[in-house]
Amino acid sequence: MPVPENAVELVQEDVESVFREAFPDGTFEVPQPFDELAPIGSDDVAVVPWYWRGTHTGDFREVRRTGLPVEFAGTTFLTGSGDDLRFHRIVDWHSLYRQLGLMMVCRRPRTAETEEADDADLAAVQPEA
Amino acid sequence: MPMPYTLTRGPLLTLVENALNPQNPAEEDRREVLLTELRQGTSLPDLVTAVQQPFAGLAVPKAPLHQRLRDDWIGQGANGPPSEPTGYWVGYQGDVEGVLRQGLIRTLEVSMGVSHDAPPDTATRSWPVQVHWKCPNPWFEVWVSWRRHDDTPRGGQVDMLIATPPDKANRLTTRPQFPPAAADRAASALNPLPEPTDATDSQGMWLVAHEHHRLDVADERVVARGGRRLDIQTGRVNTGGLQPLPAGEWLVPTPSTMWVDEGEVITVEPPSHAGGADTRRNNLP
């Protein structure tokens, strides 16, 4: 099943569908050196690497608008055809959320794997005479 | 010292509390000197090392306090290399010593009833001070709050809350009933902490929480336009970017970790070695 020749436009519409509301001034771009090559792929799959740049002036899921500029990358693999088109997306969500100022670090939770390290820490603790 | 809970008192802060809560005229004099030294900019590690007093039966870090404060807490402050965190804090750069110093100055001034920068010997009272360490916080800050109970010199209470970012060394316990064992009682971690019942102790610190905090990840499956949620998928098996989806139907990861609380609501009294309060502290009347 050959993928459509307008795969780039389809991917752009798909990306805009999820980000346009939160980033009303956002732009979709297929970066160099892929801009002239896209869609890349074979008869069965098209690959479209892309960037989204915009200002976070609308809410994105539970993330309230911050007014911050963001730029992040994604790649969409397109399979199928006609009404059975399927989008397989790899998005740099971490970069997006980091630029929105969300705290992405937290102390590691205590697990079986950390027990040994904790024991080593505790070895440095002893009641004073 | 492990900090398995998000709020700590414990031995280290007892050192600070001891310096802030004099029990006799000689200690009151030392407190005045401490306030003067803080205002003059004496190094905090040097000050803490100088004022620490022995207190029997409490676990204190074997590593030199001076070194822990200097390297772990204060680091190179805001003067460190760009993009490098201060001390052992995760994702934070700032003047830890400056915030801590001003927090201690303000705490002492309120406790003593001394106006800001007024001479320490103008003290009109000596309100007891209680110190807590709250972690993790997005940034480093100190909260000073107080309340008058009556007009006597000790008729009030000052609370100093040191809120810090997460650090590289400590790990949270996700089961509040099972803190790490004390070094000399390795087997005790197998037994859950008993539920405290005696409300007449001279001091205490109880924690009310679920039995278990479970870390979870979740992806929302949404219709992109309008954001209508179709499903929420959790766990590693179902979560991933390469799922084939129709146009306009997206799998959007929740932007942070999600803690899912499970089990009964329980009350525990963290032991001193794990950051809890300890009735054996020598700063109690």
> B33 Cβ partners below 8 Å, 6+ apart?
none
Residue B73 carries which DSSP code? I
B258 touches chain A (CB under 8 A): no
> A14 Cβ partners below 8 Å, 6+ apart?
A76, A87, B224, B247, B248
Q: Tell me, what's the pLDDT at B185?
A: 55
What are the residue ranges of helices labelled H in chain A? Answer: 7-19, 93-99, 112-123
The chain A residue lying nearest B173, using CA atoms, is A110
Contact list in A for residue B243 (CB cut-off 8 A) is 88
pTM for the whole structure: 0.75
For an interface test with B, give the residue of A18, A83, A90, A91 to mutate (most B CBs within 10 A): A18
Place of tokens 């007891």: B128
**Secondary structure of B91-116 as H, E, C letters:** CCCCCHHHHHHHHHHHHHHHHHCCCC
Q: Tell me, what's the pLDDT at B230?
A: 81
Q: How many other C-beta atoms are found inside a 10 Å radius of the C-beta of residue B28?
A: 16
Q: pLDDT of A25-49, one tens digit each?
A: 999 999 998 888 878 888 899 999 9
pLDDT in tens, chain B (285 residues): 457 899 988 667 777 888 899 988 988 999 999 999 999 999 888 887 666 554 444 455 545 677 778 888 998 777 777 778 899 898 889 999 999 999 999 999 999 999 999 999 999 999 999 999 998 898 999 999 999 999 999 999 999 999 999 888 877 888 999 888 776 555 445 688 999 998 888 888 999 999 998 877 778 888 887 778 787 777 655 566 788 899 999 988 877 667 789 999 999 999 888 888 865 554 454
Indicate the CATH number for domain A7-123: 3.10.450.50
Contact criterion met (CB < 8 Å) for A110 and B90: no
Where are the domains positioned within chain A? 7-123
Contact list in B for residue A92 (CB cut-off 8 A) is none
Where are the domains positioned within chain B? 7-179
Q: Are residues A76 and A14 in contact, defined by beta-carbon separation less than 8 angstroms?
A: yes
CB pairs under 8 A between A and B: 135
The chain B residue lying nearest A11, using CA atoms, is B247
Of B1, B220, B242, the CB nearest to A125: B1
B257 touches chain A (CB under 8 A): yes
Contact criterion met (CB < 8 Å) for B171 and A90: no
Contact list in B for residue A111 (CB cut-off 8 A) is 174
